[in-house]
Copies of this chain bind each other. A is one copy, B any other.
């Protein structure tokens, strides 16, 4: 059933039927109601393809997920971010198009995306320091919102981020206040902007407390469970092990805990952990029960919702001034931190 058939069945022109269905004022309420009923009865849905060709709007948003070439790692936060964004899209009648792109050939990919015109806008994931994508997208005129931020960029652009510096300052300071002096940082890959900021926050807290920044205590890699385990194990097995860990993700923190427990130590008593917690749906920490990990927490799902709204606004209004959203990020105290042990 298409428009033509429906309009013939109704004895109306395609124009009128189309207008009736799309809420244009040039059609009487009586006709509109009649058309609506007929459409419902005939199970009529306008073809997305035809519609978007005619309107020039794709009614779709692209999510471009960079896949790090070495590891082929998919960041576990994407699932929840996308779930959040998807809620908004489907409420607004937008499709979500997902593309996983090797970080090597991203530039071409964006260019093609614009030309092929199958999306109205995109969400940029995993921004790096001074990320070149931002200038490119601006130049292409393809609406976008960055999930995260890219430092050292002059252009104004839309982004939504968590206060990473503050968060890791807070996390580190919390341990400092508990008496910890040797605090390790188990960070993500530091050409990613968020990781860089977390490191800055960590360093700021140490400096404020007059503590030395020790490169031997700072690690940076893809945030897997194994990485957390390995990094923690190596540091714990030295002569002068850290008593606290600031960790960039729950998954990695689980690995850290594994290393701690394996050494016969007790997390929270012998060694403390504060982690960043994206509030992943299958790994809730304190949302339904008492928190396990002491953590700086911010819901990535909420971020997804918010980012989607920002992008749809941008699509609707390309010339509005750039919007910058900062998510809330609170320290929640769980069982993985405690006063530094005396010895």
Interface residues of A (CB under 8 A from B): 1, 43-50, 52-53, 58, 60, 67, 71-76, 78-80, 82-83, 86-87, 90, 95-101, 111-112, 115-118, 222-226, 251, 254, 258, 261, 280-284, 288-289, 292
Contacts and interface: CB of A to CB of B under 8 A. Distances in A.
B90 A47 contact: no
Given A72-B281, A226-B283, 11 more contacts: A1-B115, A43-B111, A49-B52, A49-B118, A74-B282, A75-B79, A95-B97, A224-B282, A224-B283, A251-B282, A254-B254
Contacts of A97: 60, 95-98
B224 A76 contact: no
A52 B82 CA distance: 26
Contacts of A292: 258
> In the assembly, how many copies of this chain are there?
2
A83 to B, nearest CB: 5
B251 A283 contact: yes
Contact of A73 (B45, B115, B282): B282
Contacts of A47: 53, 115-117
Given A49-B49, A74-B80, A282-B75, A86 B99 contact: yes
Contacts of A43: 111, 115
Contacts of A44: 115
B225 A282 contact: yes
B281 A45 contact: no
Across chains A and B, which 8 residue pairs bring their CB atoms closest together, nearest first? A86-B100, A45-B115, A48-B118, A49-B53, A74-B79, A48-B116, A224-B282, A74-B83
